[in-house]
Amino acid sequence: MAEFNTSVKEQGEISKIYLKGYLDAHTAPSLENTFSSLIDNKRYKIVVNFQDLAYISSAGLGVFMAFIEKVRDNNGDIKLTSMTDKVFNIFDLLGFPLLYEIFNSEEEAVNKFIETKNVENK
């Protein structure tokens, strides 16, 4: 069985999800649970770090689709960061860069959230 796990770190309003291992049809429910509990706690500013993710299948991609609408309706976003080339290629083929903001580093994603907030406040 392919290993997969997630961990969540909080940084102010922003929640950072760290993915590790293989995200496929069998492990996708685990990530779904992570997203669900964040949304249940009204945490809509989410950065997903793909640094340690070795593989993502179509079912894994589906998880992001399942929650993006709800998150954006609540003034939040799911930003994706630190993908390996292989993982990025899978996202890219399906056109995900057109739908999601994908950053090279977690910091950029966090800054984007903060910038957006500052703009809104002005």
Q: Which residues bind another protein (CB under 8 A)?
A: 24-25, 57-59, 61-63, 65-66, 69, 86, 90, 93-96, 98-99
Contacts of residues 112-115 at CB distance under 8 Å and 24 or more positions apart, as own/partner, are 112/79, 113/13, 113/14, 113/45, 113/47, 113/77, 113/79
**DSSP character for 22?**
E
Q: How far is the CB of 55 from another protein (least distance, A)?
A: 8
Give the H/E segment covering residue 35: helix 28-40
Taking the least distance from each CB to another protein, the nearer of 14 and 44 is 44
d(CA 71, CA 56) in angstroms, rounded, equals 21
Taking the least distance from each CB to another protein, the nearer of 69 and 118 is 69
Q: Is the dihedral of CA 108, 70, 95, 5 positive or negative?
A: positive
Taking the least distance from each CB to another protein, the nearer of 63 and 109 is 63
Q: How far is the CB of 111 from another protein (least distance, A)?
A: 25
Q: How far is the CB of 77 from another protein (least distance, A)?
A: 16
Q: How far is the CB of 118 from another protein (least distance, A)?
A: 27
d(CA 116, CA 100) in angstroms, rounded, equals 15
Taking the least distance from each CB to another protein, the nearer of 13 and 94 is 94
